[in-house]
Amino acid sequence: MGRRWGSSRHLVRLAALFGVAVLAFLVVRWALMPEGFGVYGHYRAGALDDNRARPVRHAGQAACVECHTDVAEARAGGRHQRLSCEGCHGPLASHASDPGSSSGSRPDPRKTCLRCHEQNRSRPSGLPQIVVADHADEGPCTACHQPHQPGLS
């Protein structure tokens, strides 16, 4: 028995080394395991909060309407009444939370309109479109159209 073990002494030592390595790995794993892992699934629960914690940049129409009741009234009944304010005016959450600190940008009085209304045959029918050369070669669209109530004025 002693002789047999003697022949395998190196294997015993190797097995012990392996055992120590496995133990060390388990300890490291316990120490480094991210908090909240596995609560909802194979991911870190905190990732849900991380994704929720991003800054909001578009205020949403409800926020604009809270203060700019005059614009909401002006748009009522018009063809642009359901358009998002920020579609033309850009993201405005910082303005909505602190109106004094920043104000929205005035949209380009031509490019903004042409983005939707310049003729494009790929668009579905029903949207008023113009061929620029025939309609108004240059100059702002606001010369004739009021964007909040776009019927001809």
Please give the Cα distance from 122 to 18 (Å, whole number).
67
Residue placing its CB nearer to other proteins in the complex, 26 or 144: 26
Q: Are 104 and 88 in contact (CB under 8 A)?
A: no
Q: Are 53 and 46 in contact (CB under 8 A)?
A: no
29 touching other proteins, by CB under 8 A = yes
Please give the Cα distance from 128 to 114 (Å, whole number).
11
134 touching other proteins, by CB under 8 A = no
CB neighbour list of residue 81: distance below 8 Å, 6 or more residues apart:
75
Under rule CB under 8 A, which residues in 38-57 are in contact with other proteins? 40-44, 46-57
Contact window for other proteins (CB under 8 A) among 101-109, 118-126, 137-145: 118-126
Site residues for other proteins per CB under 8 A? 3, 6-11, 13-14, 17-18, 25, 29, 32-34, 37, 40-44, 46-58, 60-63, 65, 69, 72-73, 76-77, 81-84, 86-87, 90-91, 93, 96-97, 115-116, 118-124, 127
